[in-house]
Amino acid sequence: MVLAESIVAAGKLDYIQGRRPAVPCILCAIVGRDRRVRRLLVHEGSAFLVCLNLYPYNPGHLMAFPRRHLEDLRELRAGEVLALDRTVRLCLDVLDRVYRPAGYNIGWNLGRPAGASIAHMHQHVIPRYDHELGVMDLIGGKRVIVEDPGRSQRRIARAFRALAGQVPRAAARTRRAT
């Protein structure tokens, strides 16, 4: 586990220090299928894509982002806001199916001072588990990721394919109740 932690930390440090693929925007490169970037793509919708975070906080750490390059969520068109909502709800259903987490962190890092290392806006969906390490453990460098991102990608992509055409669970429950 310590070896895996060191490998993940070293890769993230290189990324933070600017040693990245020579593309103007990592997420635009994913949209454009540029071979210079590792895609880790698990779902493509008409307006939004979902990929795994290359340096995840937990197994299943996803990022949902628009096909078009935007840097601020206020630039989203009304239809894109709805598409993003559907995409994030689908992410939750997929992660529930694959990992059964106890909870989620869902959020944005807009601007470098807020922690954004990619200017292209993206929403993080991070599964959280009972008895996992806390924030102080993260800061102290004690984080251990227990699943290879490639394995996560295969598992999650399969669940997206299975669930993408279905009605989200919350909507299905509401319809049954009426």
Backbone angles phi, psi at 27, to 5 degrees: -70, -35
Distances in Å between the Cα of 95 and the Cα atoms of 33, 83, 91, 108 are 24, 18, 6, 19
Of 56, 55, 65, the residue nearest 32 (C-alpha): 65
Active-site residue, 122 included: yes
State pLDDT tens for residues 100-132.
999 999 999 887 777 778 889 999 999 999 877
Q: Residue 171: what pLDDT?
A: 43
Tell me the torsion sign for CA atoms 49, 128, 7, 1.
Answer: negative
Q: Pull the structure tokens for residue 10.
A: 């070293």
Q: What is the C-alpha end-to-end distance of the chain, expressed in Å? A: 49
CA 4 vs CA 14, 58, 61, 104: distances in Å: 16, 13, 17, 24
| pLDDT score at 110 | 80
**From 43, 61, 120, 122, active-site residue:** 122
Assess whether pLDDT exceeds 60 at residue 152. yes
Q: Among 2-16, 18-32, 141-155, whose mean pLDDT is lowest?
A: 2-16
Question: pLDDT (tens digit, 9 = 90+) per residue, 35-86?
Answer: 999 889 999 999 999 999 988 888 999 999 999 999 999 999 999 999 999 9
Distances (CA, A) of 56 to 59, 73, 165: 7, 22, 27
Domains of the chain: 2-172 (3.30.428.10)
3-state secondary structure of 147: coil
Instruction: Tell if the pTM clears 0.75, that is, is over it.
Output: no
